[in-house]
Amino acid sequence: MSTHAFRRVTRRRFLKETGLTLLAAGSAPVLSAPFVSRAMADTKTLSIVQWSHFVPAYDKWFDQFAKDWGTKNNLEVTVDHIPVADVAARAAAEASAGSGHDLFGWNGAGGAHLYRKFLIDMTSLVEAVEKKYGKVTTIGRQISYNQDDKTWSAFPDYYINFPAMYRKSMWDEIGVTPDTWDNIRTGGAKLKAKGHPVGISLAHSNDPETTWRGVLWSYGAAVQDETGKRVTLDSKESVEAVKFVTALYKEAMTSQVLSWTDASNNQYIDSGVASLIINPISAYRTAQQLNKKVADDIFVLKAPKGPVRRLMDGGPNFYGVWKFAKNKEAATAFLKHYADNWVEAFKASSGYNMPIFANIVPKPMPLLSNDPTSTPHDKLAVLQTSDEWTAATGYPGPSWPATDEIYNNFIIGDMMAKAATGALTAEESVKWAAQQCESIFKKWQA
């Protein structure tokens, strides 16, 4: 896995450090144009690539939805699904080659800002959708909005929330509610002794990059300031957060987390072993299919509260249209149609894909407010509040290429892992990470 991650990083650095640029292959299509123009119809295909969703039913729905739209518009629509760990590498390869899919779907940071020069301006599309479904939420703006020139370099699709997901019977037995990070550490230590550790990855994948940012923020620390111009990671608050993660790893977790993928913690709680994970509800949905007894015992809470605040990083998902795409007009028209059917997309994801446009899924939200498959039916209702305790990678400032690269280079996760395993002290680990961030900031600021 480390070799694969290094390959992705070096490809990305090649794109940035050589200043590789592509000429625009045309501006964004005008939304007021006929739904199917001659240019769109003349190009008989529309190609889409996106990650293999952790709720397989969503991919099945999306593929049929895209195919049906293509049939109505005399277009052959193809949808390729790739492992989430391969998204960054595929984006780098397509941008480097100046050839690839028309519509590119990202999961995780590292697309809308890093590849801004390669993507068409999506401002007219976003504004059109806002008029129908309400303003983009704060986390949605952080995903793909460019503050410098007030444009959108990608279409913000949804975010993934990361609640605490726990085995209620286990935590009830020890009389602890895992609603704070400190309770998770102390209660987790007791449950580890009973054979039920906490499971949070310390490897190279999306989940730890979101979760450990949440811990940082909950301790009052952050990678950057509100302006996005200064690295603030080297702080006593960061050191305290790293010390906490070290204690959590040693006292309450299994060493297996050092080599986990994004699917590993799902499998860990679904197996009946883990007492708690921090994860979207895909793990719960899988448990419902595999073991109803385990699923009925899995409950969710808001992101754990720290000494300063309750906040968790959310996984952004968004679509970009390459400037070199063969059918930019069809790609944009498809996204418009997709937005008009977003409630169906939400249902197909079983409540996993969280809305970004304020009124696109009115509350009470279907499935989350009342899920007939869950016991009790309102078990997932707390997830409707996740806008209140979720932020994007750049918090408390904007997301921009530097914060995206820091995310893609696994710097925050590595900072935690180096201290947790004793490779560095907490203070040394924070200084190392801050230096990495400073280097990236200087490169992009230059």
pLDDT tens, per residue, the chain with 446 residues: 333 333 343 334 433 443 333 323 333 333 333 334 444 556 589 999 999 999 999 999 999 999 999 999 999 999 999 999 899 899 999 999 999 999 999 998 677 899 999 999 999 999 999 999 999 998 999 889 998 899 999 999 999 999 999 999 999 999 999 999 999 999 999 999 999 999 999 999 999 999 999 999 999 999 999 999 999 999 999 999 999 999 999 999 999 999 999 999 999 999 999 999 999 999 999 999 999 999 999 999 999 999 999 999 999 999 999 999 999 999 999 999 999 999 999 999 999 999 999 999 999 999 999 999 999 999 999 999 999 999 999 999 988 999 999 999 999 999 999 999 999 999 999 999 999 999 999 999 99
DSSP letter string over 183-221? HHHHHHHHHHHTT--B----SSSHHHHHHHHHHHHHTT-
By three-state DSSP, how is residue 391 classified? strand
Residues 317, 294, 258, 236, CA torsion sign: positive
Domain ranges of the chain: 2-160+314-384, 164-313+409-445
Type and span of the H or E element at 320: strand 315-321
- Give Cα separations from 245 to 82, 109, 412, 423 (angstroms): 31, 23, 12, 14
Number of Cβ within a 10 Å radius of residue 88: 26
Which runs of consecutive H residues, i.e. helices, occur in 18-86?
38-42, 56-72
CATH number of 164-313+409-445: 3.40.190.10
- The edge-to-edge listing of strands for the beta sheet with 315-321 is 76-82, 45-51, 103-107, 315-321, 155-160
Cβ proximity of 13 and 436 under 8 Å: no
Closest CA to 59 of 39, 81, 76: 81
Rounded to whole angstroms, the Cα distance separating 286 from 56 reads 10
Cβ proximity of 66 and 77 under 8 Å: yes
- Give Cα separations from 73 to 37, 59, 63, 194, 253 (angstroms): 10, 21, 16, 59, 53
Q: Copy the structure tokens of residue 104.
A: 């590119």
Predicted confidence at residue 7, as pLDDT, reads 37
- Give Cα separations from 21 to 95, 105, 152 (angstroms): 9, 21, 19
pTM to 2 decimal places: 0.88
Give the CA count within 13 Å in the CB-facing half-sphere of 146: 21
Under CATH, which architecture does the 2-160+314-384 domain have? 3-Layer(aba) Sandwich (3.40)
User: Do 2-160+314-384 and 164-313+409-445 agree at the fold level?
Assistant: yes
Rounded to whole angstroms, the Cα distance separating 147 from 326 reads 29
Place of tokens 């602890």: 176
Cβ proximity of 348 and 239 under 8 Å: no
Number of Cβ within a 10 Å radius of residue 420: 24
**349 dihedral zone (left: phi>0; alpha: psi -120 to 50; beta):** alpha
